[in-house]
Amino acid sequence: MKNRLSAAPSRRVAASAGVAIISVAVLSACTTAEAPQGPQDTQSIPRAPDGRPDFTGVWAGPGFAHTGKPTDTATVRRYTEAKMAPIKPEGRSLLNRPFAGNVRIDDPTAVCLPNGLTRQIPSPYSQQWIQTADQLVILYEYMHFFRVIPLGAPDRAHAPDIEPTYMGDSIAWWDADTLVIDTVGLNEWLLDAYHGEDGGSRWHSDRLHVVERITFTDPTDASYDVTIDDPAIFEAPWVENWSMQLKPTWKIFEFVCDDNDRCRAGNCTESDAQKSSTQ
């Protein structure tokens, strides 16, 4: 990602999921600050032949600073505690997992297990959206996850026989010019990139219901509002307000989690170059 990232200090520890490709995505310090948005200009936004907004393209999702330039700064984003609904007494232990010294609990991505939907959305890697009249396909650069999301009638029901997965079962519809993506059927898994050095990890339950609402605010920027509705943990749904930005010159890169992974689960070994430099 040298052609897309501006310089920023790394915050990843050796046990993080990005160890194998830390030279590809240099991350800045964790923040939830949003880039300011200008006045809405929805008249000239990209539109499909049917007149709907067309989100096709490669996007810098919530995990970027959104510079408005061909290069951008990757930024680790986590869900904002101040925006969270009150936590149920019985939900606190489900949400906050203390540091266990076991990467399968503290950060399962360190052994190349999936990121999961809620952590994937704000990951600091590009994502490609391909929209047709009846479906939306999202290709995530990070770990090469994908979603094939059928577009249809608003507020329709999900299939009755959903098999729980890391990315869940997603369906979508239009609310005027806003794209709504509704997801259920998620495994109990990581909520975000809250790590062991932060005091533990944060998880969601398998009752989580996620609603994404994406709206163009101008021809290259979109608001991205994510509603977290997890009745096993929170007393009410709550919303994280993010944004994304089109990057016409970008493409998603190959990502192989196990390739050249010299720090699997935080157990690092020297590279050949490091070995020769000490001889």
**pTM score > 0.75 for this model?**
yes
Whether residue 251 is contained in a domain is answered as: yes
Q: Which amino acid, 45?
A: I
pLDDT score of 36 more than 50: no
Q: Which amino acid, 240?
A: E
By the 10 Å C-beta count (0-12 exposed, 13-18 middle, 19+ buried), 77 is classed as: buried
Whether residue 174 is contained in a domain is answered as: yes
Angle CA(212)–CA(217)–CA(223) in degrees, nearest 5? 25
pLDDT value for 183:
98
Whether residue 39 is contained in a domain is answered as: no
For residue 171, what are the β-bridge partners?
Answer: 182
By the 10 Å C-beta count (0-12 exposed, 13-18 middle, 19+ buried), 249 is classed as: exposed
Domain count, the chain: 1
The predicted-structure confidence for 7-24, as pLDDT tens digits, reads as follows 333 333 333 333 333 333
Whether residue 12 is contained in a domain is answered as: no
pLDDT score of 189 more than 60: yes
Whether residue 6 is contained in a domain is answered as: no
The predicted-structure confidence for 74-124, as pLDDT tens digits, reads as follows 998 999 999 999 999 999 999 999 988 888 888 888 888 999 999 999 999
- Average pLDDT, integer, range 167-192: 97
Whether residue 222 is contained in a domain is answered as: yes
Whether residue 4 is contained in a domain is answered as: no
Question: Which residue segment(s) compose the domain that 222 sits in?
Answer: 17-31+46-277
Whether residue 271 is contained in a domain is answered as: yes
Those residues whose C-beta lies under 8 Å from the C-beta of residue 120, and which sit 6 or more positions away, are 140, 142, 143, 145, 167
